């Protein structure tokens, strides 16, 4: 069999249960058909933040070890570099060495310098083509688009411009051109959706208003019932709502809250619609059977509540060039006076809806509890993998480079291992069980070994969960198992040492010494 084409599709801040194939009520027919044609992993793990997940995906290494411990700020000497280590080959570079044509469409977010072309930019990290944005987020209507290493023609005069549609069209065109060639291709399609700001067109929002008037309590229960029927719930009973989220009946401004989630759902559906274009192009090109298509999210749903900053200008040229040039102000912050949808508002959907997105798991993006690091994962390779199968054994982002390179008949020495046997449903070697996985982000830490997960929030004690019986992390067993806590904590400490994890207390202390706000360390 010739080497397979590979498409990795990455959503931004999508929750575990948002897709129809994982229990959600958002219309995602194209990703649902992808799931029916392949394998869904119910225990696939990512990191809890944008840049670290991208670093792990593209290198097969834990992100701290390649310079991305938080995001892309260069906080040396006490902190991380904020750019992907050039000495570590990316997946694109490895596949180019195997004869692949490579393209990135979408978000990069792995360079501390996004203004001057340098060796950390995607075109110098193995991608033949790049079309998208370098920073972590932007307006959906007026993003700072790049084509290669140059600013792309801005669509200021186009009243219908929307970045998700633009990225989908470029991805579809890349597949059409690459399929006509004599070499296999690798496409990394990294959407900005559904990361805030909540930007979507009115017709796409309107179809969801009635759906979300039911509120997060009713919808969360409905999602869980569907998850149980699909075999992707992971727990026997739905845990209580996040204690920091009020009951829907007690919420003020229901109409505004509905608008927030309706806009988020519209962002997801538009992304799904674009993915359908890419899948249809594979069919037209005759390359679908021997193309590996993967879909996942970079972290769990995002509970960030953006503070209100009335009358303040937009975040600068890298976020919205049109508003910077015209001197306009865009109102920022989660307040009912700012409606989601149009480009004049810059808000997020908040903790209540993020709790729905992450059904049935605990916490969110930035945390290393399941709600921060569990991602929906779909892989389809019609000529080599079974259809409509659910795999419950764990996988991790660091596995993808090894898996893809092996499928391309190569070998990659990474921190992960191949997931091909798990996807096929084969028995894994005894040496691979039980598997140990570790995380750290801004002081939040976790280790999972087999059924046990040890996890803590920054500044708090270790918590211990039987993740097979209690994946919702509801019953802390640490007081009953002190020796196991100590054993797993030592495993985590060694992993942190081996992977250049900088103690978060040291990072914060350095910011204090330099008179800088500790909040800057989160960037």
Which residues have a catalytic role annotated? 50, 109
In whole angstroms, give the CA distance from residue 476 to residue 455. 10
Location of structure tokens 């674009």: 274
Q: Judging by beta carbons within 10 Å of its beta carbon (0-12, 13-18, 19+), is residue 202 exposed, middle or buried?
A: exposed
The torsion angles phi and psi of 130, rounded to 5 degrees, stand at -140, 130
**HSE of 82 in the Cβ direction (CA atoms, 13 Å)?**
19
How many residues in total does the chain contain?
A: 523
Closest CA to 154 of 141, 172, 171, 170: 141
Q: Which three-class secondary structure string do you get for 358-413? A: CCCCCCCCCCCCHHHHEEEEEEECCCCCCCCEEECCCEECHHHHHHHHHHCCCCCC
Residue 116's H or E segment, with its range, is none
In whole angstroms, give the CA distance from residue 511 to residue 504. 11
Closest CA to 376 of 29, 25, 32: 32
**Dihedral angle over CA of 414, 416, 417, 418, nearest 10:** -90
């Amino acid at each position: 069999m010739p080497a397979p084409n590979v498409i990795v599709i990455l959503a931004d801040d999508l929750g575990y249960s948002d897709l129809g194939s994982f229990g959600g009520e958002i219309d995602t027919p194209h990703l649902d058909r992808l799931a029916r044609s392949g394998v869904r992993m119910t225990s696939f793990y990512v990191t809890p933040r944008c840049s670290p997940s991208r670093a792990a995906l593209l290198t097969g290494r834990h992100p701290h070890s390649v310079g991305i411990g938080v995001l892309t700020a260069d906080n040396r000497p006490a902190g991380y570099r904020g750019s992907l280590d050039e000495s570590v080959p990316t997946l694109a570079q490895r596949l180019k060495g195997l004869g692949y044509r490579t393209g990135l469409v979408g978000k990069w977010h792995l360079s501390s310098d996004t203004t001057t072309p340098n060796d950390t930019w995607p075109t110098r990290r193995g991608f033949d083509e790049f079309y998208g944005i370098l920073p972590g987020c932007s307006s959906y209507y007026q993003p700072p688009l790049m084509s290669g290493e140059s600013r792309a023609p801005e669509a200021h005069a186009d009243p219908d411009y929307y970045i998700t549609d633009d990225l989908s069209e470029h991805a579809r065109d890349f597949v059409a051109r690459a399929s006509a060639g004599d070499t296999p291709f690798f496409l990394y399609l990294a959407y900005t959706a559904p990361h805030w700001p909540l930007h979507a067109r009115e017709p796409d929002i309107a179809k969801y208003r009635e759906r979300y008037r039911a509120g997060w309590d009713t919808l969360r229960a409905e999602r869980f019932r569907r998850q149980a029927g699909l075999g992707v719930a992971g727990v026997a009973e739905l845990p209580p709502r996040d204690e920091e989220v009020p009951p829907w009946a007690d919420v003020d401004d229901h109409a505004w809250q509905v608008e927030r989630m309706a806009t988020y759902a519209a962002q997801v559906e538009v992304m799904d619609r674009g993915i359908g274009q890419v899948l249809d192009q594979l069919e037209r090109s005759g390359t679908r059977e021997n193309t590996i298509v993967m879909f996942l999210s970079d972290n769990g749903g995002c509970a960030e509540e953006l503070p209100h900053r009335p009358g303040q200008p937009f975040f600068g040229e890298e976020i919205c060039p049109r508003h910077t040039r015209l001197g306009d102000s865009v109102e920022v912050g989660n307040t009912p006076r700012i409606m989601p949808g149009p480009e004049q508002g810059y808000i997020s959907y908040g903790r209540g809806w993020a709790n729905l997105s992450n059904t049935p798991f605990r916490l969110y993006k930035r945390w290393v509890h399941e709600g921060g690091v569990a991602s929906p994962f779909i892989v389809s390779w019609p000529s080599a993998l079974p259809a409509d199968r659910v795999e419950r054994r764990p996988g991790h982002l660091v596995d993808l480079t090894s898996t893809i390179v092996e499928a391309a008949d190569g070998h990659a020495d990474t921190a992960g291992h191949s997931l091909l046997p798990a996807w096929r449903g084969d028995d894994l070697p005894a040496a691979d069980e039980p598997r140990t996985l570790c995380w750290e982000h801004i002081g939040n830490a976790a280790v999972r070994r087999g059924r046990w997960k040890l996890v803590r929030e920054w500044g708090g004690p270790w918590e211990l969960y039987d993740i097979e019986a209690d994946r919702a992390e509801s019953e802390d067993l640490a007081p009953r198992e002190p020796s196991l806590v100590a054993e797993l904590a030592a495993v985590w400490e060694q992993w942190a040492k081996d992977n250049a994890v900088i103690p978060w207390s040291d990072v914060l202390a350095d910011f204090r010494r330099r008179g800088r706000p500790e909040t800057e360390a989160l960037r």
